[in-house]
Amino acid sequence: MKKQSLLFCSILLLFLFTTGCSSKDSGKKKVTTEKKVELTVSAAASLQDALNDIQANFEKEYTNVKINYNFGASGALQQQISQGAPVDLYFSATEDKFDQLVTDGLIERKNGTDLVGNKLVLVVPKGTNKNIQSFKDLRKADKISIGTPESVPAGKYAKDTLEHLHIWKVVEDKVVFAKDVRQVLTYVETNNVDAGIVYKTDAMISPKVQIVASAEENTHAPIIYPVGIIKTSTHPKETMAFFEYLQSQKAIDIFEKYGFKGLH
């Protein structure tokens, strides 16, 4: 009996000791897991829907990281970063704005990549009676909207396309400039303009507009979206995790669902 009692006590003590160690370990892990990190991602407005979906998936896998987006025109976002805005990742709709940050030493080339591509399309309000079926038909329009070419890449591509087709001079006085492609889309949706030039990805999400033409690739520079880590990021480890996640097949599938073209 004594031997059995001693054996029982020994097993009980061993169990209590093991449980205690496990509790301490799990307690330590819990504290680490609960430490929240917030990342600021400055991204082109045209990426909004795809990135929101990607964010939801990423935050399920990386429960300690919260993504805060700053959507806008690529040029305006680039200027904010150049002036010291606290940003961790920059996702541009054009290479020249991205390359400027590389030149300025704010992004290391090795921490950047050309991720997705897009197409430029001409859209009109659904049910319009203006009979605009092509870029050349823009002569019939009273008002046309494009992004401001100096700060909105889609606007620069749009102007280049119209110049290539020799109709920019004809329609220039009819153009209503917008702060980004989403504003162009809104102008078309609300019938404030007869037509607008936006990315295919923007047109696809709106039930109120109709795509009537696509710009030929030789009418403008390639539409490429580069993404990169800002050198001054205060959370380089977590930023790298999101940067790599954006290049994963899971993320590329989401981009392609919204009409982007994967470049990897």
Q: List pLDDT tens digits, range 154-196.
A: 999 999 999 999 999 999 999 999 999 999 999 999 999 999 9
Instruction: Using the predicted structure, report yes or no on whether residue 14 has a pLDDT greater than 90.
Output: no
Looking at residue 123, its pLDDT comes to: 98
C-beta separation of 132 from 144 below 8 A: no
Mean pLDDT of 208-237: 97
CB burial of 203-226 (b: ≥16 within 10 Å; e: otherwise) equals bbebeebbebbebeeebbeebbbb
All domains in the chain, ordered by first residue: 35-117+224-262 (3.40.190.10), 120-219 (3.40.190.10)
β-strand 65-72 against 224-230: which pairing, if any?
Answer: unpaired
Q: List pLDDT tens digits, range 45-63.
A: 999 999 999 999 999 999 9
H or E element in which residue 37 lies: strand 37-44
Local confidence band at 25 (pLDDT 50, 70, 90 cut-offs):
very low
Query: Can you tell me the distance from the alpha carbon of 177 to that of 131, in angstroms, rounded to the nearest whole number?
Result: 22
Query: Can you tell me the distance from the alpha carbon of 168 to that of 83, in angstroms, rounded to the nearest whole number?
Result: 34
